Structure 1
């Protein structure tokens, strides 16, 4: 019988009960954190840590691409292309040891994250149960 770390069990439960909106926000935050850690490691010439952190950010971008519903239209397709661009840019940043390229991805991720957070706030503030004075609840 495996012993479960209480903190790990708590974190796993926390992630499993998040809304999809907040889960995407959490993925953006994680990708940003790993990119920034990779940048710091690059400044310290710790290339193993650079590869590890950028690889983790790439994994998050891969997850975002894999779970994106591209059938909903142009916005989703363009978002997929942006994720793919960032993924490839991080791979090249790692190969070329380019902090500039990492910063470019950080800037794009930060803009997406901030836009997503704002969209969540707007969604949560809007009462979708009533529209144009019509109460759909009865």
Structure 2
């Protein structure tokens, strides 16, 4: 459900994307952007926006999970588990109004984005 909407949103906005590597980078950036909005909503005690933005991040994570190629080895298995854990954190952050859990997810995606850029030469 969320996976298709996340993918469609990005492809509609970036029809000219040449590389699937760039799409992954954009998805990572999307999680960071949506988490920042969720953080603001938590600080403002805006329940509706908190739920909206955490759900947007979860949708992107679902798309990332769906794009994993398990034929490529252990990295895909590791990322699958990592993405599952991030979904759990975001869900709990939304329910519990937890900045700490949201920040934990954000920090993971900052690291993933940096590593992705380094290994794919996409800047």
* TM-score, reference length from structure 1: 0.76
Equivalent pair of 1:65/1:80 in contact (CA under 8 Å): yes
Tell me what 1:71 maps to. Answer: 71
Whose Rg is larger?
A: 1
Tell me what 1:57 maps to. Answer: 57
> Structure 2: how far apart are the matches of 1:61 and 1:48?
20
> Structure 1: how far apart are the matches of 2:41 and 2:115?
28
Tell me what 1:91 maps to. Answer: 91
Rate the CA distance shift 1:100–1:13 in 2: closer, same or farther, 3 A: closer
By relative contact order (CA 8 Å, sep 6+), the higher-ranking structure is 2
Q: Unpaired segments of 5 or more residues in structure 1?
A: 1-10, 125-138
Count of residues in Structure 1 that have an aligned counterpart in Structure 2? 112
> Structure 1: how far apart are the matches of 2:34 and 2:105?
11
Looking at secondary structure, tell me which structure has more helix per residue. 2
> Structure 2: how far apart are the matches of 1:102 and 1:111?
15
Deviation at 1:72, TM superposition (A): 1.5
Q: What aligned pairs does 1:1-138 form with structure 2 within 5 A after superposition?
A: 12=12, 14-121=14-121
For residue 14 of structure 2, give the secondary structure of its aligned residue in structure 1. helix
> Structure 1: how far apart are the matches of 2:87 and 2:117?
21
Equivalent pair of 1:70/1:80 in contact (CA under 8 Å): no
Deviation at 1:14, TM superposition (A): 3.0
User: Aligned-pair RMSD on alpha carbons?
Assistant: 1.5
Q: Unpaired segments of 5 or more residues in structure 2?
A: 1-10
Rate the CA distance shift 1:87–1:13 in 2: closer, same or farther, 3 A: closer
